[in-house]
Structure 1
Amino acid sequence: MKRTGTIVILVGIVLLFSVAMFWLWKKNAEDPIVYKTQTPTTDTIIKKTVATGSIVPKEEVLIKPNISGIIDEIFVEAGNIVERGDLIAKVKVVPNVSSLTSAKNNINAARTQVETARLAFENQKSIYDRQKELFEKGVISANEFDNAQLSYNQAQQRYKQEQVNLTGARQNYDIIKTGTTSGLGASANTEIKATVSGMVLDVPVKTGNQVIEANNFNDGTTIATLADVEKMIFEGKVDESEVGKIKEGLPLEITVGAIENQKFDAVLDYIAPKGVDENGAIQFEIKGSLKKIDTTTFIRAGLSANASIILARADSVMAINEALVQYDPKTQKPFVEVETGDQEFTRKDVELGVSDGIKVEVLSGVGKDDKIKVWNQIKPAKSAGRG
């Protein structure tokens, strides 16, 4: 029995030794890890965030009528260039029967007042002429003559005022009936003219449409929209997570979806002080003025666009891939490993600058000829036929 136990133990030892030797052989048969290296490059690094929006005119002017009526004729269409004072449309006034009747009654009342004032004036004139003759003969005192002259002047002034009132009543009647009257120029006019120079962006009405003048209870009907298309702005929104990183005066790079391979420069000049909730996310409105646009490029109002807001920029600086940077687990300070010999590396602390998420600026710590270890390289997958 003792001999059998001894044999079993020896066999077990031999088996364990064989397994250990086999494991060591397999371990040595594996390819050793060979770390690649990269050297710093000279690059321009731009840190930016993107906002979506559209291109719109800086100022849009809504042309509205100064009198209600029906569009009789339209002289422009969208896309036309107009100058200030050019005719846009003509409005035909459809008088309100009630207002027309009231205006006619006012004329009749004014005529009665004029006739009454005329009779009073002629009576005072007769009295004045008699008093003047008596005063010149010394029959009455100067005080009595002065009173007669005052009454005469007052009657004459009242007569003139009633004549003015009659003229006003007639003009008001003409305005209600036809939309215009003599002596008032453009203050009551059926011709709608451009108030600024620019391009006609939209004509939302057609001949025969009824239009309403602007008043305290109604904004009025827009007949045309004008804008200077040489002064365009980007209007978009940024998320609340990005709004703290931007400020007025930052440069923008505008890309328009409908215009390929072309960028437009702009300057951020407005950030909304209050955000708006859109689908559960707080968005802040921003605006940026486009710099002078090439005359050969026409940007249509309303085109969708993206704005790259440049937060920081470093031109022609020493840079490395951000993937080469490691961080100390305790201090969280950045460092890289620089090759000092064949597959031998030494840690070097670095100071970093602007990063765009792929490349990062290196301010100090390494030189342009240093070979930096690619520490997180991906090992190639083993082939299917290998053990």
Structure 2
Amino acid sequence: MKKVTKYILITLLVFGVLFSAAYFAKTNSKSAITYKTETLFKTTIEKETVITGKVIPEDEVEVKPQIGGIIDRIFVEEGDQVTTGDLIARIKVVPNEQNLNAAQGRVKKAQISFATRKKDFDRNKSLYEKGIISNADFIANELLFNQAKQDVLNAESDLKIIKEGSIGGSNAANTDIRATVPGTVLEIPVKEGDQVIESNSFNAGTTIAAIADLGKMIFEGKVDEAEVASLRVGIPLKVSLGAIEDQELDATLQFIAPKGSEEQGAVQFKIEADMVLNDSIFVRAGYSANASIVLDRKEDAFALREALIQFDRKTQDPFVEVMTGDQKFERRDVKLGISDGVNVEVLKGVSEEDQVKVWNRTEERDEDNENDQDDA
């Protein structure tokens, strides 16, 4: 019995010595850590946002026919430079049977009316020359005769337009489609032999070609509702093109949509910015682009590196640790201003003389683990 008690005491003594050694080793290792410190510094902080969008022409015009038919010939290619009046394409008119029959009917009706008016006019002219009718009656009858004559001409012109595409007439029965503005031909969505529809108040018509001035380009993108309130017309942007590396183009915000649209659960507002093009690069319509916009800027701001800021685990309030003695620190709650992702403005809680502890996330995880164990 005495031997058992002796062995138990020896075992407890050994474990006590080992535990004491481990405790003092851990305590000494903690006290041996020396933390660096930093102080507030003055700097300029810019809060930026990046907007994804594309580059498009400021004005793009779609050339459409004024009469339906078949594309007989196309005279330009995509990328060609054109001026106002240049021939784009030629259409061969294919008359609509219903419209053709109606036009032919109007011609016959006008001719019948004209024949009747001519007989009346000839009879009244003879009576007028004999002094049987007055001058006023003769003039009124002459007016009706001239109107009937003009109705025939109008009906025949309408019939010719339906059959040939113009009243000028040609053996090829065609109509010419010409450029309405100067610029670059961006797209020709039709080919020879395609049927096209005329543009009118009931139909947008078939696009023969799209023309734009590539010397006037704009950036078009969308901004989240959380950031649109910080924007104003006239602020500068920096536009980087996806197709051209190491090139930034200046731009000026010129439009912010008054109404947003919901996309994937978020409200987005369209913006447009006039771009200043560089002669050394050729910017094509449709390039994907990113625009950087400075939402807020603060000069001579007292700041710390964001890496020095800690956040309370429960309240998420920001704080730092300030040195009070030799490697001794106390917590200071701080009020933060704008941030650029690297430096953050400190509005309250720390003075210029305070030495702020440079901490690391490994230390924070160790402390959290200890706190969790204590809570358990």
TM norm structure 1: 0.78
Aligned runs of 1:146-165 on 2, under 5 Å?
Answer: 148-165=134-151
Between the aligned partners of 1:197 and 1:245, the Cα distance in structure 2 is 38
Q: Alignment partner for residue 357 of structure 1, among 332, 337, 341?
A: 341
1:237 to 209, 222, 225: 222
Separation in structure 2 between the aligned mates of residue 328 and residue 22 of structure 1, nearest angstrom: 34
Superposed CA RMSD in Å reads 3.5
Give the Å deviation of 1:65.
Answer: 0.2
- Flag the structure with larger Rg: 1
Paired with 2:136 and 2:208, the residues of 1 have a C-alpha distance of: 55
Other-structure match for 2:371: none
Q: How far apart are residue 193 of structure 1 and its match?
A: 1.6
**1:4, distance to aligned residue in structure 2 (A):** 7.9
Q: Which runs of 5+ in 2 are unaligned?
A: 364-376
Structure 2 residue identity aligned to 1:295: D
CA distance in structure 1 between the partners assigned to 2:9 and 2:92 by the alignment: 120
Paired residues, number: 358
Once residues 108 and 27 of structure 1 are traced to their aligned partners in structure 2, the CA distance between those partners, rounded to angstroms, is 114
User: One-letter code of the match for 1:61?
Assistant: V
Q: In 2 relative to 1, CA 5–173 (structure 1 residues): closer, same or farther, beyond 3 Å?
A: closer
Partner AA of 2:278 in structure 1: D
Pick the aligned partner of 1:218 from 195, 203, 220: 203
Which residue is 2:190 aligned to? 205
Judge conservation of contact 2:64–2:207 (CA < 8 Å) in 1. Answer: yes
User: What is the identity, as a one-letter code, of the residue corresponding to 2:56?
Assistant: V
Counterparts of 1:1-387 in structure 2 under 5 Å? 14-15=13-14, 18-19=17-18, 21-27=20-26, 29-30=28-29, 32-131=32-131, 148-182=134-168, 190-239=175-224, 242=226, 246-249=230-233, 251-266=236-251, 267=253, 269-271=255-257, 273-278=259-264, 281-315=265-299, 317-326=301-310, 334-339=318-323, 341-345=325-329, 350-363=334-347, 366=350, 371-376=355-360, 378=362
Alpha-carbon displacement from aligned partner over 1:98-122 (angstroms, at most 9, x marks no partner):
5434434433433332232222112
The one-character-per-residue Cα deviations of 1:118-173 (angstroms, maximum 9, x if unpaired) are 221122122222227xxxxxxxxxxxxxx622221111111111111111122112
1:56 and 1:302 in contact (8 A); partners too: yes
Distance in structure 2 (CA, Å) of the matches to 1:104 and 1:24: 112
Q: Distance in 2 between matches of 1:182 and 1:259?
A: 51
> C-alpha distance in 2, partners of 1:322/1:91?
67
- 331-340 or 348-357, which moves further after superposition? 331-340
**1:149 aligned partner, one-letter code:** N
CA distance in 1, matches of 2:102, 2:29: 108
Aligned partners of 1:251 and 1:268 also within 8 Å: no
| TM-aligned CA deviation for residue 81 of structure 1 | 2.2
Partner letter of residue 33 of structure 2? Answer: I
